[in-house]
Amino acid sequence: MPDGTLKRLRAGMQGPTPPKAPKVPSDGTVGVVTQARSRRAWAEIDLDAITHNARVLSRLVRPATLCAVVKAHGYGHGAVSVARATLTGGALGLAVALVDEGVELRQNNVHGPILLLSECGADAVDAAMAYGLTPTVYTAEGIAQFAQAARMLGQRTSVHIKVDTGMHRVGAAPADVPALVRALVEDPLLRFEGLWTHFPVADGDSAEDRAFTVRQLALFDGAIADLARADVHPDVIHAANTAGAIVFPQARYGMVRCGIGLYGYLPGDTVGAAFSTAAGGQHLRPALSLRARVVSVRTLAEGERPSYGRMRALPQRSVVATVPIGYADGVPRALFSNGAHVLIGGRRRPLAGMVTMDQIMVDCEEDTSVQPGDEVVLLGRQGDEEITADEWAGLLGTISYEILCGIGPRVPRVVINAPEPTGGSITPPIP
């Protein structure tokens, strides 16, 4: 990456200063509804863990720079507070999926480069320009829309082009890249800043997956070489997600886009093994824990069948605790049938019946010490025990990304260990 670009990234001067606008009621939380302020269920977001993870990853990928992916409300953690924590930890830019996500960051005074990961629709181009977001384009129509908006606003904007090297979701075919770049270079108000691609199986365990990623890199390098022969050299070249940055060092180029790693998780055993080798004993820390409090306790006879469907008979006389969190909050019903546990008093406890929309019921067996007000940990650590998003993902046949992003908007996010005041943080649940 040229020195001038790196200096500009460090100074956080990408794009114009966004216009004054009313702040969205975010404060880094995730659409918290009013009644959630007094719920006895919440997610704790450890911003020190986010900052730590960003610092570990930014050091690991040097001399490439770190772009923090904070789309989907920061993977369910709260985009504004997560963005600030990653920048504190060494990220030099941010990435989002939607223009609205970038606008939310700008309206909450988050500065620095914000890359849009998909080409936006014509109706969002003006907002992207007004808030100094860096667009990704991969069609002639997308370039024309930004060129027109730039002329109307009298504003120059930097643009990235995405290349489809095999994922076949979005992006320009390698053969189409030269024409798209030419259109950018020839427009006086568009600046060709970046070229990038994306890996679908960089986290794969098989030789076939690894070979596919290597072929993607060859295609991408070919596109870079074609531009170089035309004396076109983008300032920023990027390809690697968290898995690619760790498993394929040659994919780091000038910048990497890390998502799941920032939140304390690695996508698969191959990535975990490569990270252990490369990180020199450093570890990532999960940043989100999902917690609640017991609201009701009753003792039920052996053979009773709690909850909807009466799916399971209690094997013995048991203390059953009711906890106010359910599938509307991102606790999937399938956790019951797949044998999930929660933590109460530092011990693993099975679910006593099917997860309901607003509540779960926990089999505490003969433990009469469990009382209303006791803390329940669904994700996170309590005493010597820990339940992770990876554990849930394994039970449910999915990935940790879906678990984290699936925690619903009515679960209040309570920020802890913030590197700086985040402003307007919600009141913690009533003990």
Residue 24 within any structural domain of the chain: no
Write the CATH number for 323: 2.40.37.10
| Domain shared by 351 and 263, yes or no | no
Residue 18 within any structural domain of the chain: no
For residue 33, the model assigns a pLDDT of: 32
**What are the CA-CA distances from residue 342 to residues 139, 171, 175, 233, 391 (Å)?**
48, 42, 52, 53, 11
Classified as helix, coil or strand, 46 is: strand
| Domain shared by 153 and 243, yes or no | yes
| Domain shared by 173 and 226, yes or no | yes
The CB density around residue 346, as the number of other CB atoms within 10 Å, is 12
State yes or no: is 263 an active-site residue: no
| Domain shared by 112 and 225, yes or no | yes
| Domain shared by 136 and 186, yes or no | yes
Residue 417 within any structural domain of the chain: no
> Which residue shows structure tokens 């979005």?
170
For residue 107, the model assigns a pLDDT of: 97
| Domain shared by 218 and 157, yes or no | yes
Q: What is the pLDDT of residues 310-323, one digit of tens each?
A: 999 999 999 999 99
| Domain shared by 133 and 271, yes or no | yes
CB 401 within 8 A of CB 9: no
Q: What is the pLDDT of residues 363-417, one digit of tens each?
A: 999 999 999 999 999 999 999 999 999 999 999 999 999 999 999 999 999 999 9
Number of domains in the chain: 2
pTM of the model: 0.89
| Domain shared by 173 and 95, yes or no | yes
Whats the size of the chain, residue-wise?
431
C-alpha R_g of the chain: 24
For residue 418, the model assigns a pLDDT of: 84
Catalytic residue among 253, 308, 327, 401: 308
Residue 139 within any structural domain of the chain: yes
For residue 420, the model assigns a pLDDT of: 55
Beta strand 347-350 pairing with 236-238: unpaired
Q: Which two tokens stand for residue 398?
A: 């999915």
Q: What is the mean pLDDT of each run of 10 residues along the chain (431 residues)?
A: 43 40 37 52 98 98 98 97 97 98 98 97 96 98 96 94 97 97 96 98 96 98 97 97 98 98 96 94 97 98 97 96 98 97 98 98 97 98 97 98 97 87 36 32
Residue 131 within any structural domain of the chain: yes
Domain boundary among 369, 387, 405: 387
| Domain shared by 247 and 373, yes or no | no
| Domain shared by 266 and 309, yes or no | no
| Domain shared by 125 and 219, yes or no | yes
Domain boundary among 224, 249, 278: 278
Domain boundary among 278, 301, 327: 278
Cβ-based burial of 60 (10 A; exposed 0-12, middle 13-18, buried ≥19): buried
Print the domain residue range for 293: 288-387
Classified as helix, coil or strand, 161 is: strand
Of 117, 61, 53, whose CA–CA distance to 283 is shortest?
Answer: 53
Residue 26 within any structural domain of the chain: no
What lies within 8 Å, CB to CB, of 4 at 6+ separation is none
Q: Which residues of 290-323 are buried (b: 16+ CB within 10 A; e: fewer)?
A: bbbbbbebeebeeebebbeeeebebeeebbbbbb
State yes or no: is 131 an active-site residue: no
Question: Helix, strand, coil proportions of the chain in percent (round to 5)?
Answer: 35, 20, 45
Residue 421 within any structural domain of the chain: no
Catalytic residue among 7, 20, 23, 71: 71
Write the CATH number for 100: 3.20.20.10
Residue 111 within any structural domain of the chain: yes
| Domain shared by 267 and 296, yes or no | no
